[in-house]
A = this chain, B = another copy of it.
Amino acid sequence: MAKIGKISGFPEWLPEQKIAEDRVISTIRAIYESFGFTPIETPAVELISTLGSKGIIDKEIFAVKRLKADESDDAELALHFDLTVPLARYVAQHGSFLSFPFKRYQCQKVWRGDRPQKGRFREFYQFDIDIIARDELPLSCDAEVVSVIGLVMDALQFGEYSIRINNRKLLSGLYSELGLDESACRAAIVIVDKLQKIGAEGVRAELQKISGITEAAVETIIKTTEIRCSADQLAERLAPLKLISPLITEGVQDLVTIWELLPESVKNSAVVDLSLARGLNYYTGLIVETTLIKYPEFGSVFSGGRYEDLASEFTTQKLPGVGVAVGLSRLMELAFTEGLISTSQRSPTRALVTVYSEEDRRLSNDVAQQLRSAGLPTEVFYKAPKLGKQIEYAESKGVRYVLFIDAATREVKVKDLVTKEQSKIENLAEWARTIA
């Protein structure tokens, strides 16, 4: 008999968990669509040369090859490891058929060719939005993306959260005023990004290793990481550092402009946090992460930022963008483990129509189809055993309403398995609509 078992890193949900995940996907999608983001989907597979085009070598890749490959086979293929590289390729390839600014959402599995290790997903859902413009992308788009995060987090009801924002211009401006050259700036950003993992002492120790950095610069960088405030307080909080440059001013002004465009409800959950750095090289302005207050060690729910040029590897056209992604599978795992979401629904079925005997099955089918047409997912029991057995099935599946039909009079009765009440149904469609 063939061996079965979990392949490490490839999560698989039970039906009640999948129903909960679908509910989350549809909540997020409804909000994305309410802002006019349009769905796209790219193949799971890209050319390896496409995936490698951004020079990202730290993402391990799953190659895909026919078991029976021969010399007629085409180019080297691999599974995509994120949805940003496929988006870049898509926009470069189909740009002439798209309206700009191109606002898209994309909910697909991505694959990371990591070594199998505990707690790391190698296949997971990512759910992205991005706004891509031709030539110039105003800050209103950054503000819109941050607003969407707030609305989604409110809708998910996974508890209190903090939308942490920062600006790469501001960080680069500060660090270069402290005497760091471009490559030292980049190194400092990668180090500060590790603050939550290695703590202030760890960051200090690593910063000190940057060649040519002064002790004063290290201390000032550490001090900036303690700044957490609203954007309108930012200039005041930075003043004691006495660091002034056009880039710093621009970074602060960008944050203020974005902040002022946020709805009040989102402002209440947002904070400018200068300890936020994000490791990835390609961000050039806004950066954003979203933390669940109760689960800081979980890391970021929504992460992203602004980049000056999405697809420079594929086209000469300048395509600035801003976007965020949520790692959905990890989030669902947290929600299941911590009980943040109900998994009590075991199937879509809301009502079960019983069958007295096989001769009456058509009658039960007719009643069920009337309920379905009125929007109520309904099953007919698949056999005709004693009614007790049929009610047991409804109970085991968490189906609340069980219907009984009198074959002679065609009278339909319903038992509510929660209240234990039994009543006659006069009008099937009407009853279905009040329940559905």
Docked Cα-Cα span, A77 to B65, in Å, equals 11
CB of A40 within 8 Å of the partner chain: yes
Mark each residue of chain A from 179 to 221: 1 if its CB lies under 8 Å from any CB of chain B, else 0: 0000000000000000000000000000000000000000000
| Contact A39-B22, Cβ < 8 Å, known A1-B313, A45-B7, A362-B261 | yes
Contact of A44 among B21, B98, B109 (CB under 8 A): B109
Contact of A113 among B18, B50, B68 (CB under 8 A): B68
A65 close to B63 (CB less than 8 A) = yes
B78 close to A67 (CB less than 8 A) = yes
| Contact A103-B347, Cβ < 8 Å, known A19-B38, A19-B39, A62-B67 | yes
Mark each residue of chain A from 55 to 69: 1 if its CB lies under 8 Å from any CB of chain B, else 0: 000001111111110
CB of A408 within 8 Å of the partner chain: no
Docked Cα-Cα span, A160 to B99, in Å, equals 36
B377 close to A33 (CB less than 8 A) = yes
CB contacts under 8 Å to B, within A80-126, are 89-90, 92-94, 97-99, 101, 103-104, 109, 111, 113, 115-116, 123
A7 close to B347 (CB less than 8 A) = no
A62 close to B63 (CB less than 8 A) = no
CB contacts under 8 Å to B, within A31-77, are 33-50, 53, 60-68, 72-75, 77
CB of A301 within 8 Å of the partner chain: no
Docked Cα-Cα span, A347 to B105, in Å, equals 11
Docked Cα-Cα span, A324 to B21, in Å, equals 24
Which residues of chain B have C-beta atoms less than 8 A from A8's C-beta?
74
Mark each residue of chain A from 357 to 368: 1 if its CB lies under 8 Å from any CB of chain B, else 0: 010011001100
Q: Which 9 A-B pairs have the closest CB atoms?
A: A36-B349, A10-B43, A2-B53, A66-B113, A36-B379, A33-B348, A34-B372, A38-B347, A15-B38
B35 close to A89 (CB less than 8 A) = no
Interface residues on A, range: 35 or more
Stretch from A133-141, A167-175, A231-239 forming part of the interface with B: A133-141
CB of A339 within 8 Å of the partner chain: no
Q: How far is the CB of A174 from chain B (nearest CB, A)?
A: 27
Q: How far is the CB of A354 from chain B (nearest CB, A)?
A: 13
Docked Cα-Cα span, A126 to B156, in Å, equals 29
Docked Cα-Cα span, A16 to B98, in Å, equals 10
Contact of A377 among B12, B35, B68, B92 (CB under 8 A): B35
A2 close to B50 (CB less than 8 A) = yes
| Contact A314-B47, Cβ < 8 Å, known A64-B79, A261-B362, A382-B141 | no
Docked Cα-Cα span, A39 to B19, in Å, equals 7
- The count of identical subunits is 2
B47 close to A98 (CB less than 8 A) = no
CB of A299 within 8 Å of the partner chain: no
| Contact A382-B133, Cβ < 8 Å, known A74-B116, A393-B99 | yes
| Contact A7-B383, Cβ < 8 Å, known A15-B98, A35-B372, A377-B35 | no
CB of A290 within 8 Å of the partner chain: no
A42 close to B12 (CB less than 8 A) = yes
Which residues of chain B have C-beta atoms less than 8 A from A18's C-beta?
38-41
CB of A13 within 8 Å of the partner chain: yes
CB of A3 within 8 Å of the partner chain: yes
* Highest count of chain B CB atoms <10 Å: which of A14, A36, A104, A347: A36
Q: Which residue of B has the minimal Cβ distance to A105? A: B348
CB of A378 within 8 Å of the partner chain: yes
A123 close to B65 (CB less than 8 A) = no
CB of A260 within 8 Å of the partner chain: yes
B362 close to A260 (CB less than 8 A) = yes
CB of A400 within 8 Å of the partner chain: no
| Contact A261-B93, Cβ < 8 Å, known A50-B2, A382-B133 | no
B3 close to A47 (CB less than 8 A) = yes
Instruction: Return 30 A-B CB contacts under 8 Å, by A number.
Output: A1-B314, A2-B53, A2-B314, A4-B93, A7-B43, A7-B45, A14-B97, A18-B38, A18-B40, A18-B41, A34-B348, A35-B372, A35-B378, A36-B377, A38-B347, A43-B123, A44-B44, A44-B109, A44-B111, A48-B67, A60-B66, A66-B113, A68-B113, A99-B397, A138-B382, A138-B383, A140-B361, A140-B380, A260-B362, A263-B369
